Amino acid sequence: MLRYAICLVVGLVAGFLVATMLANTLQQRSAWPRGLMRVMQHDFSASRSATRGTQCATPQMAEAASRLRMVGGQLGPALLPQGKEDRVLAQYVQRFHDAAAKWDASADCPAQAAALTAIGDACEACHRDYR
């Protein structure tokens, strides 16, 4: 009886270790897309908060717009394995690029808020299908 209990405990410990290693491997596989999304979310949220104020045409907004466009340029390679094609995802990525290109960081607050709403809509449309 003691042998069975020891075998059960050893089996549970081994199973736990294998499951932990597998979970870590799967989590590392998606580090790049998650990192891109976090950077984009940070710039988007900070910019959206800034448009609620009165002074929107700041160097920080220009940097956020530039960074959002730059990081957004990596969406396709980050979300799809190399050599794979996904027509729907490509449309969502293009919609995001189009919305981000229309954001003029030197414009007044209402214009920037409208541009950020379009960017947010592009993000939400993709997240609806791919999150």
* Phi, psi (deg, nearest 5) at residue 48: -65, -40
pLDDT band at 81 (very low <50, low <70, confident <90, very high): confident
User: Where do the domains of the chain lie, and which CATH numbers do they carry?
Assistant: 31-130 (1.20.120)
pLDDT at 27 over 80: no
- Residue 25 pLDDT greater than 80, yes or no: no
Rounded distance between C-alpha atoms, residue 18 and residue 12, angstroms: 10
pLDDT of residue 42: 93
What is the per-residue pLDDT across 84-130, written as a single tens digit (0 to 9) for each? 888 898 899 999 999 999 999 888 889 999 999 999 999 999 999 87
CB of 124 within 8 A of CB of 92? no
Question: pTM score > 0.85 for this model?
Answer: no
